[in-house]
């Protein structure tokens, strides 16, 4: 049977393939991904692909079509079933698979879904995704063959491996968890039964309609239920996951959010005790406070591109034991495998909190403060967003501004810094600013507004955004 397939061009993203189910993403797309990716694995000398899926309503059907495509490329397909994306990474690593594909919409709305891929134990992204699209369009795949498929239950091994790195004390912690009706539910329920202390799980049932709130812990509104529960329970901390549990959100004992760069400070201080001078990587959206605190703790801070794939590649290149992003991805290569795993990051954090002499809020209050906006995301067409960044960068270069173009534009001024970048996963631009004073922050926001207006765009609503971070 001849094979050719054209994907909706908006679905071929930088780090994954993603779209609206039934519109820009279909079961035919899933089959084509399996057929083409399987061919790429075969041509690289491999034969085994692990596949899994998250809790979205569309995921089982997409996973079925994906598996059929991989089978038609002669692959041995290992189906690990429903669970978090990090469990797929764990399975690919421990089972010695040549490739892996996760069906997941991550933190996106319920009608979205997508595919995250690993080839040869390395992230599959960027040019490789574009190559997959071109191969499918040309029908350039291996001859149709009949592969084999079997189900593999990796849940017990994954939970046991997570628990192996528990390094806390006997101090019993009171912890509230919010699974967000996402894919963490089953694993989290098994995990807490083996941990000391008291544990309450909110929204543990996996439900792809996400009835409680949207599964994105970087948005304050999605943490309100967790904040209320932490205060009600008098808990030591609260932890939240996104839809596929590769990201982590944190609330301290007072119900105050520690954003991802603040959490990374806590993790980095702990790791740098055993890895003096080690590199710790953070993305361009992170606070300057983070980079300063890594340096103060004896580490080597490194600013890098946002996105789980480039962060993982940079970790491998530099030998960094730890990395993190403002989006809540945390990557441990210290005792762990170097991939982002919200459950593992939570476990390591619990060990740290159990060893603290005081409450977690003391750590937060001890950090230097800056006046900042949150990460502001605002609509910009996929066909326009990257062009806008090119236009802004060109104007800044002509003006002699102090600018980093590692990922978008990050501009440093005497008032602090501001950032504008294009999202690689959504049709949005991302802006953030951090000032040394409230007046300085206003000037930084005005600079962002001026650049956007010069490119014919309306600036995001900055009202009510200043705050101590």
pLDDT digits (tens, 9 = 90+) for 399-416: 999 999 999 999 999 999
Mean pLDDT on 350-355 = 98
106, 287, 354, 372: which one is catalytic?
106
The answer on pLDDT for 124 being more than 80 is: yes
Predicted structure pTM score: 0.93
Q: How far is the C-alpha of 427 from the C-alpha of 224, rounded, in Å?
A: 26
Q: Which CATH number fits domain 9-153: 3.30.300.20, 2.60.120.10, 3.40.120.10, 3.30.830.10?
A: 3.40.120.10
Q: Tell me what the pLDDT averaged over the chain comes to.
A: 95
Handedness of CA 301, 302, 305, 308 (dihedral sign): negative
Residues of the chain above pLDDT 90, percent: 89
Mean pLDDT on 43-54 = 98
What is the per-residue pLDDT for 459? Answer: 84
Question: Angle at the Cα of 219 (from 365 to 55), degrees rounded to 5?
Answer: 125
Specify the CATH number of the domain 157-366: 3.40.120.10
What is the per-residue pLDDT for 331? Answer: 98
The answer on pLDDT for 467 being more than 60 is: no
Closest by alpha carbon to 163, among 351, 356, 352? 351
What is the per-residue pLDDT for 1? Answer: 61
Residues of the chain above pLDDT 70, percent: 98
Q: DSSP letter at 4?
A: -
Q: Which CATH number fits domain 371-468: 3.30.310.50, 2.30.110.10, 3.40.50.300, 2.30.30.90?
A: 3.30.310.50
What is the per-residue pLDDT for 463? Answer: 60
What is the per-residue pLDDT for 465? Answer: 38
Any idea where the domains of the chain sit in the sequence? 9-153, 157-366, 371-468
Residues facing 149 on adjacent strands: 77
Dihedral of the alpha carbons of 116, 119, 122, 123, in degrees to the nearest 10: -30
The answer on pLDDT for 452 being more than 90 is: yes
Q: What is the pLDDT confidence band of residue 427, given thresholds at 50, 70 and 90?
A: confident
Q: What is the pLDDT confidence band of residue 390, given thresholds at 50, 70 and 90?
A: very high
Q: How far is the C-alpha of 18 from the C-alpha of 41, rounded, in Å?
A: 21
Contacts of 41 (CB under 8 A, 6+ apart): 47, 48, 49, 73, 75, 98, 99, 119
What is the per-residue pLDDT for 468? Answer: 39
Q: Is 404 a catalytic residue?
A: no
Q: How far is the C-alpha of 414 from the C-alpha of 440, rounded, in Å?
A: 8
Q: How far is the C-alpha of 18 from the C-alpha of 11, rounded, in Å?
A: 5
Closest by alpha carbon to 70, among 53, 47, 43? 47
Question: Which pair of structure tokens corresponds to residue 64?
Answer: 């079925």
What is the per-residue pLDDT for 469? Answer: 47
Residue 281 near residue 318 (C-beta atoms within 8 A): yes
What is the per-residue pLDDT for 118? Answer: 97
The answer on pLDDT for 464 being more than 60 is: no
What is the SS3 assignment for 377-396? EEECCHHHHHHHHHHHHHHH
The answer on pLDDT for 195 being more than 50 is: yes
pLDDT tens per residue, range 361-385: 999 999 988 898 878 888 999 889 9
Mean pLDDT on 70-83 = 98
Residue 354 near residue 169 (C-beta atoms within 8 A): yes
The answer on pLDDT for 106 being more than 90 is: yes
Domain 9-153 matches domain 157-366 at the CATH topology level: yes
pLDDT tens per residue, range 127-180: 999 999 999 999 999 999 999 999 999 999 999 999 999 999 989 999 999 999
């Amino acid at each position: 049977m001849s094979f050719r397939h054209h994907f909706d061009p908006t679905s071929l993203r930088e780090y994954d393939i993603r779209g609206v189910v039934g519109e820009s993403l279909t079961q035919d797309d899933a089959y084509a991904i399996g057929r083409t990716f399987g061919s790429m694995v075969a041509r690289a000398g491999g034969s085994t692909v692990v596949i899994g899926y998250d809790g979205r309503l569309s995921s089982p059907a997409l996973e079925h079509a994906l598996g059929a495509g991989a089978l038609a490329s002669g692959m041995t397909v290992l189906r690990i079933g429903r669970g978090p994306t990090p469990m797929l990474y764990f399975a690919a690593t421990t089972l010695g698979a040549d490739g892996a594909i996760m069906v997941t919409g991550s933190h996106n709305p319920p009608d979205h879904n997508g595919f995250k891929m690993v080839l040869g134990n390395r992230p599959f992204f960027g040019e490789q995704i574009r190559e997959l699209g071109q191969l499918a369009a040309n029908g350039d795949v291996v001859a149709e063959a009949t592969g084999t498929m079997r189900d593999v239950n990796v849940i017990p091994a994954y939970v046991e491996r997570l628990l192996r790195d528990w390094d806390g004390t006997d101090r019993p912690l009171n912890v509230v968890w919010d699974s967000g009706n996402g894919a963490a539910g089953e694993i989290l329920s098994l995990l807490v039964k083996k941990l000391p202390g008291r544990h309450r799980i909110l929204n543990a049932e996996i439900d792809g309609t996400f009835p409680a709130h949207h599964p994105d812990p970087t948005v304050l509104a999605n943490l309100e239920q967790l904040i209320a529960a932490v205060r009600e329970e008098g808990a030591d901390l609260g932890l939240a996951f996104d839809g596929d549990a590769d990201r982590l959100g944190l609330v301290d004992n007072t119900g105050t959010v520690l954003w991802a760069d603040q959490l990374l400070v806590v993790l980095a201080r702990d790791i740098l005790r055993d890895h003096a001078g080690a590199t710790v990587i953070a993305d361009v959206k992170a606070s300057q406070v983070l980079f300063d605190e890594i340096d103060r703790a004896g580490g080597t801070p490194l600013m890098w591109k946002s996105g789980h794939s480039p962060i993982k590649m940079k970790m491998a290149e530099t030998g960094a034991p730890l990395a993190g992003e403002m989006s809540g991805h945390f990557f441990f290569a210290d005792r762990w495998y170097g991939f982002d795993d919200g459950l593992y990051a939570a476990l390591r954090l619990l060990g740290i909190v159990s060893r603290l002499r005081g409450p977690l809020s003391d750590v937060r209050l001890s950090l230097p403060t800056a006046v900042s906006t949150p990460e502001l995301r605002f609509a910009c067409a996929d066909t326009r967003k990257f062009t806008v960044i090119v236009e802004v960068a060109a104007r800044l270069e002509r003006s002699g501004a102090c600018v980093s173009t590692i990922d978008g534009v990050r501009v440093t001024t005497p008032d602090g810094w501001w950032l504008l970048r294009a999202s690689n996963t959504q049709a949005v631009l991302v802006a953030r600013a951090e000032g040394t004073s409230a007046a300085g922050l206003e000037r930084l926001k005005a600079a962002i507004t001026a650049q956007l207006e010069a490119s014919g765009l309306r600036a995001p609503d900055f009202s009510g955004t200043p705050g101590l971070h």
